[in-house]
Chain A
């Protein structure tokens, strides 16, 4: 029997309401809110999308101009940087775009923290609309400050990254699974209470006719509720169980994803990879997901391919950090992440000098837009490579390939570096291994924790032999069978722990 045409299925109703929500948000609510609160994110967003169409030379020129401006600003306004410039005898006006590394020492996390706030922020600026930001890890927490403009640029850069990598926008459903173990019991997210809209403050602002205050009040109200506006829901992390959670827990996650049908599914790469492996192992139909994006860790090519096959959707990647914002994002070719050159300057350095394209190096990032608290040559702690060739996607910016944390890089007796991503993909090439952790106790002496796949036999000798062929013939490797790999304090995983890490 045919259903009457006027009736819709619940799926259709959902889709129609989603379209209406999108229309309402895009055409009315957001432009009105944007105009009233002066957040200007739509203008910023349009400007950024235009920048994506610029030529490489235009991007370079824009980037260098902004770089010089922020260096001059830091020199003039920020005590920490001024001292740094003076120590190395550098006047920022003299900086040249000569293809060399910037002649200033990198800024470390400890530099930031030990001068925070007054030593590392710009003096003499209006601080009334500065916004404090912090990473949510419990052990290596670092904080920053964004002025109102930078906060809005970040917001717009987020929209840009989501649009360009995965065609996600503000109105589509978004599900995330962050790694933080300690969020609730330790209050590690520093979450404050959501203030009521109809508060004493609102009453006071209305009585006194304080329009600026009213704008801020409305901005703050919606900012605190941005997750609801984004239709963003959060699932709990794997917690203390480590990499290998129970099948019941896996089913819970899969069912939650299936039920919510997110356009964007974000999570720690290990989580998403675990779901993908489970779906494939049990031959379960994948939940409906528009696009998958990892965050909070590095995604290897093996992970990406496994996710793509299991979920049957595109897997996109972005790069950024809480203290700065979105820095780069994927394109449909998936050959590295395009740097937002209008917002950031990145140096990939090897032994203190600029690495050649494709060569592994440490990443130093300069935020071109944060005038409240400039980040110049910030040592973010990641390693990667950059590529300048035009690979034909239409975007001309340089591309980054981020390959994990610098402290997880190991080197063999010939001095060749191996990143955590390379090691991850190597060990996950063994069918019998579900998860692993490689610990370098001292140079050339390793322990390997192996979580076997269901019913699999671990042939330790074969693993040792292959590892010696892959890494170095002259290493010691002891293997141990375990049930799970525990996460670090903050809930993230380190699959390679290098004790002999040296400066790259």
Chain B
């Protein structure tokens, strides 16, 4: 994998602020877009713009084909069947769809480390239990075993924590869920962009992820639903596209996945997500994984040497991928983010990262977070480490 060549594809890297390049370390929030994805959107608007499905005219048919082709690309990307791919806006919507559409009673088991998107939708509709983590942020599998029972309907767990960057033992979690007859939803928002995912190998029932965190545009996301689980689901939004026929007082629902895509979807978003996946596949997910792993281990190594820098979660690079949250003792995380921004154009995130319960569990306030992706470099991490060292030394 040639990072220099990859960087050439990203127009934002050519932008200078105060005559310096931008160092973008906020990839867990959203990634930058390569020229190919940007062009894909423009190409759609310039050539195919039309509403999809049921249109007789050429543009509608072309547009429909591109949209369905995108679905096939997504399916191939995670080794699923195209019928198992539902386009949604983002991970949050995907989880809400499952929360509202999954039939049957039973408890939902999630963990204290989850993003609010994997907590709040369950809280609203279901009885929820929370699996604890150890002091280094790892899922406590014994606690999971003790809490999962025959009344558990579903276990909902993130594959990678968006705060700690720890890769959860997702196979183990799914195995435990299956043993007790529970379904399993994997929040893949932070893993799908970095790891080659095979849903058949994972054995999960649901997988959710967002296009904008993997080079695609915002407003397009994916919900994978294992085909035989559709029987246990019902659409929670009805309207255009979700039906085969409608009469006053009755309707015949469309087959999945269209029955879960009410209204005009984000057509261009889906097409551009397909282009983003092409890009990732061309670079190869194995290479991206190795690159991101190298960066996070390097950053950890440098940051661990800085006194007064408090890193959250396991310090073992093997446990992590792409994300590190930390605080400089004596200095607020927002101040750290602002100083990094103004001094070296380093863009990082600060706050609770939509995971306030995790911060509560760790007994900490808000934190600063750096997150890496395929266009980031070793040199950029050296700049970060040097400036963090200066700040920490000063405070």
Q: A132-B330, A134-B335, A141-B334 are in contact. Are A117 and B365 (CB under 8 A)?
A: no
- B335 and A141: CB pair below 8 A? yes
- B394 and A191: CB pair below 8 A? no
CB of B219, distance to nearest CB on chain A (Å): 21
- A113 and B330: CB pair below 8 A? no
- B351 and A117: CB pair below 8 A? no
Bound-state Cα–Cα, A193 to B366, Å:
10
CB of B30, distance to nearest CB on chain A (Å): 17
- B365 and A116: CB pair below 8 A? no
Indicate the member of A110, A134, A143, A187 with the most B CB atoms within 10 Å. A187
Q: Mark B23-66, 1 if CB is under 8 A from A, else 0.
A: 00000000000000000000000000000000000000000000
Interface size of A by CB at 8 A reads 23
- A141 and B391: CB pair below 8 A? no
- A132 and B366: CB pair below 8 A? no
Task: For B13, list chain A residues within 8 Å (CB).
Answer: none
CB of A322, distance to nearest CB on chain B (Å): 12
Task: For B333, list chain A residues within 8 Å (CB).
Answer: 187, 190
From A117, which residue of chain B is reached at the shortest CB distance?
Answer: B394
- A118 and B339: CB pair below 8 A? no
Contact of B334 among A110, A114, A184, A190 (CB under 8 A): A190
CB of A459, distance to nearest CB on chain B (Å): 41
Please report which residues of chain A, range 146-197, place their CB below 8 angstroms from some CB of chain B when the two chains form the complex: 184-188, 190-193
Task: For B363, list chain A residues within 8 Å (CB).
Answer: 193
Please report which residues of chain B, range 336-376, place their CB below 8 angstroms from some CB of chain A when the two chains form the complex: 338-339, 342-343, 350-352, 356, 359, 363-366
- A113 and B342: CB pair below 8 A? yes
- B335 and A193: CB pair below 8 A? no
Bound-state Cα–Cα, A141 to B332, Å:
11
Task: For A306, list chain B residues within 8 Å (CB).
Answer: none
Q: A117-B394, A185-B352 are in contact. Are A191 and B365 (CB under 8 A)?
A: yes
Bound-state Cα–Cα, A299 to B71, Å:
57
- A138 and B338: CB pair below 8 A? no
Q: A113-B342, A190-B365 are in contact. Are A132 and B334 (CB under 8 A)?
A: no
Task: For B18, list chain A residues within 8 Å (CB).
Answer: 114
Q: A113-B338, A138-B334, A193-B364 are in contact. Are A187 and B395 (CB under 8 A)?
A: no
Indicate the member of A114, A118, A142, A191 with the most B CB atoms within 10 Å. A114
Contact of B366 among A116, A118, A121, A186 (CB under 8 A): A186
Task: For A187, list chain B residues within 8 Å (CB).
Answer: 333-334, 350-352, 356, 359, 365-366
Task: For A134, list chain B residues within 8 Å (CB).
Answer: 332, 334-335
Task: For A193, list chain B residues within 8 Å (CB).
Answer: 363-365
Q: A117-B395, A118-B390, A118-B394 are in contact. Are A190 and B335 (CB under 8 A)?
A: yes
Contact of B338 among A118, A143, A184, A186 (CB under 8 A): A143
B1 in contact (CB, < 8 A)? no
B383 in contact (CB, < 8 A)? no
Bound-state Cα–Cα, A289 to B364, Å:
37
Task: For A121, list chain B residues within 8 Å (CB).
Answer: 394
- A190 and B332: CB pair below 8 A? yes
Please report which residues of chain B, range 7-23, place their CB below 8 angstroms from some CB of chain A when the two chains form the complex: 18
Contact of A114 among B330, B343, B394, B395 (CB under 8 A): B343
Bound-state Cα–Cα, A435 to B338, Å:
34
Q: Mark B228-246, 1 if CB is under 8 A from A, else 0.
A: 0000000000000000000
Indicate the member of A114, A142, A143, A190 with the most B CB atoms within 10 Å. A190
CB of A220, distance to nearest CB on chain B (Å): 12
Bound-state Cα–Cα, A191 to B334, Å:
11
Please report which residues of chain A, range 186-222, place their CB below 8 angstroms from some CB of chain B when the two chains form the complex: 186-188, 190-193
CB of A252, distance to nearest CB on chain B (Å): 24
Task: For B359, list chain A residues within 8 Å (CB).
Answer: 187
Q: Mark A361-379, 1 if CB is under 8 A from B, else 0.
A: 0000000000000000000
Task: For B364, list chain A residues within 8 Å (CB).
Answer: 193
Bound-state Cα–Cα, A192 to B366, Å:
8
Q: Mark A115-127, 1 if CB is under 8 A from B, else 0.
A: 0111001000001
Q: A132-B395, A187-B352, A187-B365 are in contact. Are A114 and B335 (CB under 8 A)?
A: no
- B342 and A114: CB pair below 8 A? yes
Task: For B350, list chain A residues within 8 Å (CB).
Answer: 187
CB of B49, distance to nearest CB on chain A (Å): 30
Q: Mark B284-303, 1 if CB is under 8 A from A, else 0.
A: 00000000000000000000
CB of A470, distance to nearest CB on chain B (Å): 39
Indicate the member of A110, A127, A138, A185 with the most B CB atoms within 10 Å. A185
B202 in contact (CB, < 8 A)? no
Please report which residues of chain B, range 179-236, place their CB below 8 angstroms from some CB of chain A when the two chains form the complex: none
- B352 and A132: CB pair below 8 A? no
Bound-state Cα–Cα, A116 to B328, Å:
14
Task: For B365, list chain A residues within 8 Å (CB).
Answer: 187, 190-193
Please report which residues of chain B, range 310-348, place their CB below 8 angstroms from some CB of chain A when the two chains form the complex: 330-335, 338-339, 342-343
Q: A192-B365, A193-B365 are in contact. Are A110 and B342 (CB under 8 A)?
A: yes
- A113 and B334: CB pair below 8 A? no
Task: For B343, list chain A residues within 8 Å (CB).
Answer: 113-114, 116
From A187, which residue of chain B is reached at the shortest CB distance?
Answer: B366
Task: For A132, list chain B residues within 8 Å (CB).
Answer: 330-332, 335, 395
From B350, which residue of chain A is reached at the shortest CB distance?
Answer: A187
Bound-state Cα–Cα, A118 to B395, Å:
10
From A182, which residue of chain B is reached at the shortest CB distance?
Answer: B351
Task: For A113, list chain B residues within 8 Å (CB).
Answer: 338-339, 342-343
Please report which residues of chain B, range 124-162, place their CB below 8 angstroms from some CB of chain A when the two chains form the complex: none
Bound-state Cα–Cα, A188 to B351, Å:
7
Bound-state Cα–Cα, A134 to B366, Å:
15
Task: For B395, list chain A residues within 8 Å (CB).
Answer: 117, 132
CB of B389, distance to nearest CB on chain A (Å): 11
CB of A135, distance to nearest CB on chain B (Å): 10
Bound-state Cα–Cα, A142 to B341, Å:
12
Bound-state Cα–Cα, A186 to B395, Å:
23
Bound-state Cα–Cα, A433 to B385, Å:
54
From B335, which residue of chain A is reached at the shortest CB distance?
Answer: A143
Q: Mark A337-356, 1 if CB is under 8 A from B, else 0.
A: 00000000000000000000
From A111, which residue of chain B is reached at the shortest CB distance?
Answer: B342
Bound-state Cα–Cα, A479 to B339, Å:
41
Please report which residues of chain A, range 80-124, place their CB below 8 angstroms from some CB of chain B when the two chains form the complex: 110, 113-114, 116-118, 121
Task: For A116, list chain B residues within 8 Å (CB).
Answer: 339, 342-343
From A118, which residue of chain B is reached at the shortest CB distance?
Answer: B394
Task: For B351, list chain A residues within 8 Å (CB).
Answer: 185-188
From B363, which residue of chain A is reached at the shortest CB distance?
Answer: A193
Task: For B335, list chain A residues within 8 Å (CB).
Answer: 132, 134, 141, 143, 190
CB of A183, distance to nearest CB on chain B (Å): 10
From A186, which residue of chain B is reached at the shortest CB distance?
Answer: B351
Bound-state Cα–Cα, A121 to B351, Å:
26
Q: Mark B375-395, 1 if CB is under 8 A from A, else 0.
A: 000000000000000110011
CB of B335, distance to nearest CB on chain A (Å): 4
Task: For B352, list chain A residues within 8 Å (CB).
Answer: 185-187
CB of B276, distance to nearest CB on chain A (Å): 29
CB of A80, distance to nearest CB on chain B (Å): 12
Bound-state Cα–Cα, A118 to B390, Å:
8
Task: For A114, list chain B residues within 8 Å (CB).
Answer: 18, 342-343
Q: A132-B335, A193-B363, A193-B365 are in contact. Are A117 and B391 (CB under 8 A)?
A: yes
**11 CB < 8 A contacts A-B:** A117-B395, A118-B390, A132-B332, A141-B335, A143-B335, A143-B338, A187-B352, A187-B366, A190-B334, A190-B335, A190-B366
A residues apposed to B, CB below 8 Å = 110, 113-114, 116-118, 121, 127, 132, 134, 138, 141-143, 184-188, 190-193
6 cross-chain pairs, A with B, having the tightest CB-CB distances, nearest first = A187-B366, A190-B332, A113-B342, A114-B342, A186-B351, A117-B394
B residues apposed to A, CB below 8 Å = 18, 330-335, 338-339, 342-343, 350-352, 356, 359, 363-366, 390-391, 394-395
Known: A186-B352, A187-B334, A187-B366. 13 other contacts (CB 8 A): A110-B342, A116-B339, A117-B391, A121-B394, A132-B331, A141-B334, A141-B335, A143-B332, A187-B333, A187-B359, A188-B334, A190-B366, A192-B365
